[in-house]
Amino acid sequence: MTSAVQHRPLSASDLQAILDVTKALAEPFDLTTMLGEVVAAAKQVLQAERGSVWLYDEPNGELVLEVATGIKPVRVPWQSGLVGACARSRRIINVPDCYADTRFDPSVDKASGYRTHCMLTLPLVDHKNVLVGVMQVLNKIGGVFDADDEALATALAAQCAVALQRVRMTSALIEGEKMRQALEMAREVQMSTLPGTMPTVAGYDVGATFLPADLTGGDTYDVAMLDQGLLVVLGDATGHGIAPALSVTQMQAMLRMAFRLGADLETAYLQLNNRLADTLAADRFITAFIGLLDPRSHQLKFHSGGQGPILRYRAASGDFERFRPTSFPLGAMQIRALRDGVSVTMQPGDILVLVSDGIYEQENADGEPFGETRVTSIVAAHRDESATALLARIVAAVRGFAAGAAQADDMTIVLLKRDAPGLAQTFERRIDAIGAMVAFTDDAFERLAIDTRLRTRVDLAVEELFTNMVKYGRGSRAAVTLGLQAVDGGVEVTLIDRDVEPFDITRAPDVDIGKPIEEREPGGLGLYLVKRLADGVDYDYVPQTRESRTTLRFTVAGLDEGRRGSQGRGSHAVD
Amino acid sequence: MLSIEKGEDGNVVIAGRLDAAEAASAQTFLDRIDGTVTLDCAGLDYISSAGLGVLLKTQKRLLAANGKLRLAGLRPHLLDIFTYSGFDQLFEIDRAS
C-alpha cells in the first residue's frame, strides 16, 4: 500500500473493526453487494455520513461512481477533480472544507441536493499495486477527519481494494466462461458440417484442410460428389465470434439442400444469396467460392461471391491463372439476374488452389503478410506431390512464417488436382530410401499400366542414379524427386536432384567392359548400365535452383531390340 | 529384401533384391566362402551395379586362390544386365537351369 504519510499504529479496537469488515468483505460475489458492503464498512469504521466508491474503468480512462447512497452512477475522466487527483497520485487526500478546495467538483452535490463539508479521498490499490478505484467518505459525524482516521482509512482501503478486485475478476471469469462455452458450441456446429473424408474422384486428387483460429472465424469448406458433379466450396463469413461460425454453417446447409433438390449451379447460387440477404444481419455477408466440376469433361464452372484470388496452376505452361470474384459477397444484397460464372477446363496436372484470407493475411513478427506469392511458389515447386502433401507444405510454411505469432483468423485450403499423366514422389537423400522408391515404382507401374517387363531396367536406372546422387551430392540436404510417366510403348523416368552441382550422366565416361577381370573395377559401371539400358537419356540443369534433372525413357521395343542385339552378338561383350 | 544362405548341396542360395542397400550384407556372407562355389540365382529378382560389385570382388578373391564363383539359374531379365555389363565374360554362367 502506497501512502505518503506514516501514521500511528492502529489500536486494538481499530484492528477489531477492520477485521470485522474484512470478514464481511469475504462474503459477497456480486459487485453491487460488495460495493454496498465496502461503503457500509467505511461509514461504520470512519463514522461518516456517506460513502462512495469510484471504480477505475481503465479501458475508457474513466472513474465510475457505481454506488453511492441515494446518488445515480456518474462517470468522470480519471484526471478530473479530487478523485482524479487521488487516482493519479495514489495518495490519501483529506479535505476538511470541500467548498474551499478548488479541486472539489460541486456538481455531484448539485445533482443530489446533498451538501458535502469534509471529505476523505483514498486510493483503492490491491496487493499487486493495481488501481481498483477511489473511495470517498463524506462528512465525519461531529467534526472533520483527522490523522487517526487517515490511518484507519488506509488500512480499510487495502481490504476493500482486494475484495473489490476479487469480485471484479470473478465476474469477468464467469462472463468469459459463458462466452467461451458459447463460442465452443458455435465452433462445434461449424466443424460438424465439414466433410469427414474427401470423396474419391477418378482422375482427381482432392484435399482440404481447416485450421481454426483460437477465437472462431467464419471459414468453411465443402467437397462432395453430387448428381450435378463434384461440389467444391470455400466460404468465409465476416467477423469473429459466434455469428459468422453459424452463418457459414447455415450457408453450407442451404447449398447442400438446393443441390439435393436438383438445382443447377446458377439457381443454387442465386437462391442461396437471396436467402442469406433475407436472413443475415445487415452488416454481415459471406465470401464464397462455389464450383461444380464434371470429372468426365473436366469442366469446372464456378461463381465466386467476393472470394478471391482463385488460382489455377496450369501444368502445361507452369504458371498460375488468377480469377477475381464473379460477384459481390453472398448475402450482401438481393440478386435478380446472375451474371455468367467462369468456366475452365482442368487440364492434366492442373491444380485449383482455394485459400482463405486467414492464410494470405497471416503476419510474421514484423507484421508482413504471408501473401499470395508464397502460396504459388509452394504449389509450383511441389506440383508433382499429392494434394495432401501440398496442404501439409502450405500449412508448415504458414506456421514457420508466423513463427509463433498468433493465428488471427481461420485458415482453410482446398486443392483440386487433376492427375498428371505421371506420378511423382519425393524421397530422403539416403541409401535406405531405395526400398521406398521400389515400392513407389511398383505402385506407379500398376496405376499407370506400364509394361512390367520394364521394371528391372527402371529399378536399376533409379537406383544407380539415386545412389550416385547420395554419394556425390553430399553438400545437399534436399530431397530427391522421382517421377514416372506413361509414354507410348513404355515409361519416362525423371529424377530431380536439388541444390547440387551439375552432373550430366550423358557425359559420364564409358566403362571398358572388355577388360580382363583383374583390371575390372565396379566404379562407373552403374551409370554405364543405365545408359545402355535406356532408350533415351536427357539431362537438364537449372542454375537458379541448382536443380539437376535427368530424364530416361524405356520402351518395350527397346527391350526387344536389346535382346535381339545381344543374342545376335552371341555371348561377346557389347560395347 | 535379400536372403543369402548355404544350400543343402553346398551351393549358396541367393534370393530377393541385391541392391545398394543390401550389398554390404551379401558381401559379408560371400567373404566367408572358399573354393569353387555355385551361386543359385533362381530366386534372385534384381541386381544393380552395387550387387555386381559384390560378385566381382568375390570372384577376384576366389580366382586368386584357384577357386571361382559359378552362377546358376539367372533369369533372363538379369542376364541382360550381366551381358550389358560384360559380366557374362567374368563368370561361368550356367544358362541351362
CATH code of the domain containing A57: 3.30.450.40
Output the domain CATH number for residue A459.
3.30.565.10
Q: Please give the residue range of the domain that contains residue A41.
A: 12-172
Q: Give the residue from chain B lying closest to A561, CA to CA.
A: B80
Q: How many domains does chain A have?
A: 3
Give the mutation candidate from A458, A480, A517, A518 for the B interface (greatest B CB count, under 10 A).
A517
Query: Residues A329-366, buried b or exposed e (16+ Cβ, 10 A)?
Result: bbbbeebeeeeebbebebeebbbbbbbbbbbbebeeee
Statement to judge: residues A119 and A255 lie in one domain = no
Yes or no, beta carbons of A528 and B85 under 8 Å apart: yes
Domain extent, residue B76, equals 2-94
Note the pTM of the prediction, 2 decimals. Answer: 0.52
CA-to-CA separations, A166 to A36, A137, A184, in angstroms, rounded: 15, 22, 26
Task: Give the integer Cα–Cα distance in Å for A507 and A493.
Answer: 19
**What is the structure's pLDDT at A187?**
80
Is residue A162 in a domain? Answer: yes
Domain for residue A71, yes or no? Answer: yes
Q: What is the CATH number of the domain that holds A281?
A: 3.60.40.10
Q: What is the pLDDT of residue A573?
A: 34
Domain total of chain B = 1
Whichever domain contains B58, its CATH number is 3.30.750.24
* Residue B28: pLDDT over 50: yes
Nearest residue in A to B78, CA atom = A456
The confidence score (pLDDT) of residue A455 equals: 95
Predicted local confidence at residue B97, as pLDDT: 45
pLDDT at A4: 42
**Do A300 and A373 share a domain, yes or no?**
yes
- C-beta separation of B52 from B30 below 8 A: no
pLDDT for the residue A427:
86
Q: Which chain A residues are Cβ-neighbours of B50 within 8 angstroms?
A: 463, 467, 522, 526
**CB-based contact (8 Å) between A526 and chain B?**
yes
Local mean pLDDT, 10-residue blocks, chain A (575 residues): 48 68 70 80 87 87 70 75 89 92 83 87 85 91 89 83 81 79 80 84 89 80 94 88 82 88 92 90 88 95 93 92 92 88 93 95 92 95 86 94 87 92 82 92 88 95 94 82 90 91 90 86 89 93 84 90 47 34
Asked if omega into A522 is within 30° of 0 (cis), the reply is no
Count the neighbouring beta carbons within 10 Å of the beta carbon of residue A152.
Answer: 24
- Chain-centroid distance, C-alpha A225: 27
pLDDT value at B9 more than 80: yes
Of A418, A437, A456, the residue at which a domain comes to its end is: A418
Which ipTM score applies to this complex?
A: 0.90
pLDDT of A330 reads: 92
Give the residue, A508 or B70, on which the prediction is more confident: B70
How crowded is residue A521: how many other Cβ atoms within 10 Å of its Cβ?
A: 11
pLDDT value of residue A109:
82
Whether residue A177 lies inside any domain: the answer is no
